[in-house]
Amino acid sequence: MSRMAIRYTPQDCARLLEAVRTQQPLVQCLTNAVVTNFTANVLLALGAAPAMVDIPGEAAEFAPLASGVLVNLGTPTGSQRAAMLEAAEAARRAGTPWVLDPVAVGALSLRTAAARTLAGLGPAIVRGNASEIMALAGAGTGGRGVDSTDTPAAAAAAARSLAAATGAAVAVSGPRDLVFAQDGSAVGVDNGDALLTRITGGGCALGAVMAAFAAVTPDAALAATAATGTYTVAAERAARQATGPGSFPVAFLDELAAVAPEDVEASLRLAVPEQAPQPEGVR
């Protein structure tokens, strides 16, 4: 299996942000109750349109109408699990790209079983922290609730295995975000700020952003890379203004709305995953 780096550039990611802003994709979100409002606001700030359609019957009807779909297992009630299966199956039939976020899988059997079923329904992207990705791939038992106890580098083999098994791009969040394509090639994103880990929904909303980017390109690994890059560049800009986790979400939404393709091109730091993280300002 190839372990070469994906040859994406900041310019590629900047062009994809421009496409999102131009096309304004409609993203259906089946997500957890803790982050619904923040996720919708993140999509609006980005320039996409959120649709929180997550009940059985409607979920299947809406997925073919959406530009992209997010399935997030953060609070998987019985009715929402049914809606998620409906939406994933309908999206697959319609060719609508969808993102699976297997929140807190591993230790909790119900959501782990649901995530494994969903992973077999053709997601374009699987996004999670290192412990979640390892657990979904059968290489770990999960983290501490929604928090990872593993590093993205430790999850690399599991992520490559999961990408090969599902045909999805696999995005692993952490101090260095990693994105793996189906062929095992990978890219690292060295942007971001620790304040993203101190607010509710920092990771979950990224899954929705990935769905928006997947709506404007058939290259799922590029969509995951560009979404992560745009999101983390905006987080760095917001962190310079914020005084803590209370003011950060407001600054982040403002910066996500303000960040331009040329800002992403100038600030995004992509790297070969095996290299050490680069200092800020180096690409």
3-state secondary structure of 68: strand
Dihedral, CA of residue 119, residue 125, residue 130 and residue 133, to nearest 10: 10
Asked if the structure places residue 49 within a domain, the reply is: yes
Asked if the structure places residue 1 within a domain, the reply is: no
Asked if the structure places residue 4 within a domain, the reply is: no
Instruction: Please determine, for residue 139, whether its predicted confidence score (pLDDT) is greater than 80.
Output: no
- Given phi > 0 = left and psi -120 to 50 = alpha, else beta, which region is 184? left
Asked if the structure places residue 278 within a domain, the reply is: no
**Residue 262 sits in which domain range?**
10-271
Known binding-site residues for ATP equal 127, 173
Mean pLDDT score, 185-194: 94
Confidence grade of residue 163 (pLDDT, cut at 50, 70, 90): very high
- In this structure, what token pair is assigned to residue 114? 């649901």
Cα atoms found within 13 Å of the Cα of residue 154, Cβ hemisphere only: 16
Mean pLDDT score, 112-123: 95
Tell me the pLDDT tens digit for each residue of 48-84: 999 999 999 999 999 999 999 999 999 999 999 999 9
- Determine the pLDDT at residue 120: 96
Provide CB contacts within 8 A for 125, sequence distance 6+: 97, 99, 100, 168, 169, 170, 171, 207, 210, 211, 214, 220, 223, 224
Tell me the pLDDT tens digit for each residue of 2-48: 456 778 999 999 999 999 999 999 999 999 999 999 999 999 999 99
Let me know: does 25 contact 212? Beta carbons within 8 Å: yes
φ/ψ of residue 27, rounded to 5: -110, 115
Model pTM score:
0.92
Asked if the structure places residue 280 within a domain, the reply is: no
- Determine the pLDDT at residue 278: 42
Confidence grade of residue 146 (pLDDT, cut at 50, 70, 90): very low
Known binding-site residues equal 52, 127, 173, 201
What total of structural domains would you count in the chain?
A: 1
Q: How far apart are the first and last CA of the chain?
A: 27
Asked if the structure places residue 27 within a domain, the reply is: yes
- Determine the pLDDT at residue 140: 58
Provide the CATH number for the domain around residue 169: 3.40.1190.20
Mean residue pLDDT across the chain: 90
- Determine the pLDDT at residue 192: 94
Known binding-site residues for substrate equal 52, 201
Asked if the structure places residue 282 within a domain, the reply is: no
Confidence grade of residue 155 (pLDDT, cut at 50, 70, 90): confident
- Determine the pLDDT at residue 255: 98
Let me know: does 223 contact 15? Beta carbons within 8 Å: no
- In this structure, what token pair is assigned to residue 227? 């979404």
- Determine the pLDDT at residue 273: 76
Confidence grade of residue 274 (pLDDT, cut at 50, 70, 90): low
- Determine the pLDDT at residue 138: 82
Q: Which residue has the higher pLDDT, 276 or 117?
A: 117
Asked if the structure places residue 241 within a domain, the reply is: yes
- Determine the pLDDT at residue 154: 81
- Determine the pLDDT at residue 109: 85
In this structure, of 26-30, 119-123, 131-135, 145-149, the range with the lowest mean pLDDT score is: 145-149
Nearest to 101 by CA among 67, 146, 65, 153: 146
